[in-house]
Amino acid sequence: MANPESRPQPPDGGWGWMVVLAGFIVSGCTAGIFRSLGVFFLTFSQQFHASSAETAWISSILMSVTLFLAPVGTALASTIGFRPTIMWGGVLSAAGYIISGFATRMFHLYLGIGCLTGLGYALTLSSATAIVGQYFTKRRAMANSLTVVGASVASMSFPPLFQYLMDEFGWKGALLIIGGMMLNMIVAGALIRPLEAYRDRKVDNGPGESRMNDSDTVLEPGTAKKCSSAATNFLKTFWAQMDFKVILIPSVALFLASLFMMQFCLLVPGLYIIPRAKQLQIEDYAAASLLSVSSIADLVSRLAVGAIPDNPRFSRFDQYGLSLCLLGITNLLSPLAKTYPALVAYAIAHGAFYGAFIPTSLTCLAELVGPKRLPSAIGILMSIQGFASLAGPPFAGWLFDETQSYDATFLQAGAGFLLAGLLPFLLRLRKKRPADTTEEPKDSPQTVKGDFENETLLVPERETVV
């Protein structure tokens, strides 16, 4: 019998690839579908006679709820297990879309797609990413890459599909079908096998011993005392993730300000590119294909960025800032795109620069705070991004309502991206402290793997001054 107190070792393969498949499905059903919801924008606005600002609240609430509650999803998975957390998240996500299919007011979409589906996304996406990271060590970068590719593959194929579903079944039928697609995350959750179960299945393979001992991870039904203990462990796990002192570090505060401005504008281009194309009298399917083109460029860019070796003369901070600046310039020039070929060129440039900075954001944060404070920093980062996501798209919609032109929304996004990209370069102005030049770091470097992205970092266990 295996020692119950021994820590299970990641198999770095085996059933882990099935866990990667589960993460691929979850990534496609969450981030992939979210990035394709721009197809419904004009339909919702016309159906409920709502302004652009009111319609934008749907995607805004969905993203903000997902980001706000992502730490809750991770803590819940650590308490009751990853499998039930992901499966419940799939049920909630499906319920949100199905209920929205019967909406008669815009407020119903806020509650259904925004709140209920957002809660489901928070439970599934963060938990799936975390369990993939636990199953791999040497191959973690490859596993994470295959997981996040699900979002890119889904966002390539779903926009034309959603347009077809609306043409054939109407927007209500399309939402019902999307709700059915969300149920695939229940299957993905069923593929999750806790590491404790994997360990005991490998060790306890004698006659009559075929059970899977995952009682350390999965909550057993029992008395109210067990439920109370589980709730206490959940609250402790959640609170342990939050160390708000990290925002007092000047370099971290500056970088978080850049991420806030970036997230404030991040959803705007994907949400308004299809309405702008239709306003330019571009056919529906051609307009929907712009999101697919952008997603293809995004995928290629992410793979290319992952292959770029580290260079001390051009750090990840430089890469992050330059990519954001180029993304800002691209959006500032987007009002010049008046034809379909010009919009395709804009979509390619936007996807390429978008995919270039996304993989580096967590890397830069880890270099600033070190491995011990990284979980707290990620939780705070998600909360800040949640606030930004809640305000950004409605503000852009308000600009369109006031100007009756989508040019203003893209100009606002471009200015925000450009300013967010310039802030990281201010970190170069921070000179090293005297202690940094006279003392060697006492802590040995540790390898830090980002759950959401694919880079491997070597950072000392203290604040890294850039």
Between CA 415 and CA 322 the distance in angstroms is 14
Q: Are 254 and 421 in contact (CB under 8 A)?
A: no
Between CA 385 and CA 260 the distance in angstroms is 6
Highest mean pLDDT among 7-21, 75-89, 186-200, 219-233 belongs to: 75-89
Residue ranges matching CATH 1.20.1250.20 in the chain: 9-196, 241-432+443-466
Token reading at 85: 């957390």
Summarize pLDDT for 311-343 with one digit per residue, the tens.
677 777 788 888 899 999 999 999 998 999 999
Residue 206 has pLDDT above 60, yes or no: no
- The region of weakest confidence among 33-37, 194-198, 438-442 is 438-442
Architecture label for domain 241-432+443-466: Up-down Bundle (1.20)
- The region of weakest confidence among 275-279, 301-305, 396-400, 440-444 is 440-444
- pTM exceeds 0.75: no
Highest mean pLDDT among 143-157, 200-214, 215-229 belongs to: 143-157
Beta bridge partners of 448: 457
Q: Is 224 helix (H, G, I), strand (E, B) or coil?
A: helix
Determine which helix (DSSP H) or strand (DSSP E) holds 418, and give its type and residue range: helix 407-422
Q: What's the pLDDT score for residue 417? A: 92
Contacts of 455 (CB under 8 A, 6+ apart): 141, 306, 316, 359, 360, 362, 363
Between CA 377 and CA 325 the distance in angstroms is 24
Q: Is 138 helix (H, G, I), strand (E, B) or coil?
A: coil
Summarize pLDDT for 6-56 with one digit per residue, the tens.
455 666 677 788 888 998 899 889 888 888 888 898 889 889 998 888 898
Query: What percent of the chain has pLDDT above 70?
Result: 72
Average pLDDT over residues 71-77: 79
Between CA 59 and CA 274 the distance in angstroms is 14
Beta bridge partners of 181: none
Average pLDDT over residues 159-166: 90
Residue indicated by tokens 């991770």: 74
Q: What angle do CA 390, 393, 398 make, to 5 degrees?
A: 115
- The correct CATH number of 9-196 out of 3.30.360.10, 1.10.10.10, 3.40.220.10, 1.20.1250.20 is 1.20.1250.20
In angstroms, what CA-CA distances link 302 with 144, 323, 337, 446?
12, 12, 25, 25
Between CA 381 and CA 256 the distance in angstroms is 7
- The region of weakest confidence among 136-150, 194-208, 301-315, 385-399 is 194-208
Q: What's the pLDDT score for residue 52? A: 86
Between CA 107 and CA 115 the distance in angstroms is 11
Average pLDDT over residues 61-79: 84
Between CA 29 and CA 21 the distance in angstroms is 12
Token reading at 76: 């819940």
Q: What's the pLDDT score for residue 247? A: 73
